[in-house]
Amino acid sequence: MDRQSDFAEGRKVITVALAANERYGNPLVVAAGSLAENASERVRFVILDGGMSARTQDFVRNAVNAKGNVRHSVDFLRINDEEFRGFRLMDGNAMTYTRLLLPALLKDDEWVLYSDADVMWKKDVAKLWAERDDKYSAVVVADGEKSATLEEFKVGEYFCAGIMLTNLRVWRDENVSADCCAWLKDHPDAAFWDQSALNRVLKGKVKYVDGGWNTFLEPSPHGYVEPEHCHVLHYAAMDPWTFGFRRNGLCAYKLDWFRKLARYKRTTVLGEIVAAKIRNWRERVRR
Ligand SMILES: [Mn+2]
């Protein structure tokens, strides 16, 4: 049986959406590659593509279908972030908001797992996928004290939208995306972009799961370290690819990320580090 019909027949497949543009190509390779590598079931990757070279797309496909992996599929959906350009931008683009398009883009799906691209997957996504629950609009991890209090939420009640099992049927029925956009129009200074809106609109309607599914790095005397209990490592502002020797040096978690990147792209760690340095230097000059 060919691969298309396998997927079409609706066999057990996990649908995962990630969003990226060319600048986020490398993070996407690591996020998708590490998710695929640890997955015990078939994953259908839906990439919300904000503009990406064919070469970068090939790197993603190769990473996902690395030898020894379960057979996965990858689709790139070319999307336009223009309709969100009026909202507060992140890194000069509106890609973060494109997850609000998922209920319309995946109109035949009931659930999708949205994953940020600034993460590394360490555990089997099938275990998180099993947490879907039709009583809730989303399945998420509570965010830390800092962001909760900044947004004037109680700790434990505010969630991080970076890893989010999304109940698409409910989102469509209850117009969640439209409500988020309406809220964002009224709150142009929202601290955390669409995450701020999602927390208001979905308040009391989300299920919380084990924090390991969305773990941030922890400060330590040696820079930053990966916490012990971690299924998905979320780099957030500590991204390894904006690479500075001055800030935290070349610590273990950064090297880890470059090792994965080089393995998935079949390049070298040193080559990728040098390329990242040059890219960052160019961006700094341009600014
Ligand atoms: Mn993130």
Q: What is the pLDDT of residues 215-232, one digit of tens each?
A: 999 888 777 889 999 999
Tell how far the Cα of 134 is from the centroid of ligand 1, in angstroms: 26
Give residue 2's pLDDT: 44
Task: Confirm whether 252 is domain-assigned.
Answer: no
Q: In angstroms, rounded to a whole number, what is the distance separating the alpha carbons of residues 26 and 60?
A: 9
The phi and psi torsions of 185 (rounded to 5 degrees) equal -65, -35
Number of structural domains found in the chain: 1
Task: Confirm whether 151 is domain-assigned.
Answer: yes
The phi and psi torsions of 182 (rounded to 5 degrees) equal -65, -45
The residues placing their C-beta within 5 Å of ligand 1, an ion, are 116, 118, 162
- From 21, 18, 39, 272, select the one nearest 166 (Cα to Cα): 18
Task: Confirm whether 102 is domain-assigned.
Answer: yes
Task: Confirm whether 264 is domain-assigned.
Answer: no
Task: Confirm whether 79 is domain-assigned.
Answer: yes
Kindly indicate the confidence band of residue 248, based on its pLDDT and cuts at 50, 70 and 90: low
User: Can you tell me the mean pLDDT for 31-52?
Assistant: 98
Q: Which domain holds residue 139?
A: 13-212
Task: Confirm whether 125 is domain-assigned.
Answer: yes
Tell how far the Cα of 116 is from the centroid of ligand 1, in angstroms: 5
Nearest-5° angle of CA 65, CA 131, CA 150? 100
- For 120-145, letters b (16+ CB in 10 Å) and e give bbbbebbbbbebbeeebbbbbbbbee
User: Can you tell me the mean pLDDT for 122-137?
Assistant: 98
Q: 138-142 and 159-167 as β-strands: parallel, antiparallel, unpaired?
A: antiparallel
Name the average pLDDT for the chain.
Answer: 92
Structure tokens at 20: 């990226």
Structure tokens at 180: 């988020």
Residue 152: exposure state from Cβ atoms within 10 A (0-12, 13-18, ≥19): exposed
Tell how far the Cα of 233 is from the centroid of ligand 1, in angstroms: 10
Q: Is 5 helix (H, G, I), strand (E, B) or coil?
A: helix
Q: In angstroms, rounded to a whole number, what is the distance separating the alpha carbons of residues 264 and 242?
A: 19
Tell how far the Cα of 115 is from the centroid of ligand 1, in angstroms: 8
Q: In angstroms, rounded to a whole number, what is the distance separating the alpha carbons of residues 119 and 244?
A: 19
Tell how far the Cα of 216 is from the centroid of ligand 1, in angstroms: 10
Give residue 184's pLDDT: 95
Tell how far the Cα of 10 is from the centroid of ligand 1, in angstroms: 30
* Bigger pLDDT: 57 vs 82: 57
Q: In angstroms, rounded to a whole number, what is the distance separating the alpha carbons of residues 268 and 260?
A: 10
User: Can you tell me the mean pLDDT for 145-167?
Assistant: 92
Task: Confirm whether 219 is domain-assigned.
Answer: no
Residue 5 has pLDDT above 80, yes or no: no
Tell how far the Cα of 119 is from the centroid of ligand 1, in angstroms: 7
pTM over 0.85: yes
Tell how far the Cα of 206 is from the centroid of ligand 1, in angstroms: 19
Task: Confirm whether 1 is domain-assigned.
Answer: no
- Residue 102 sits in a domain whose CATH number is 3.90.550.10
- The answer to whether 170 and 137 are in contact (CB under 8 A) is yes
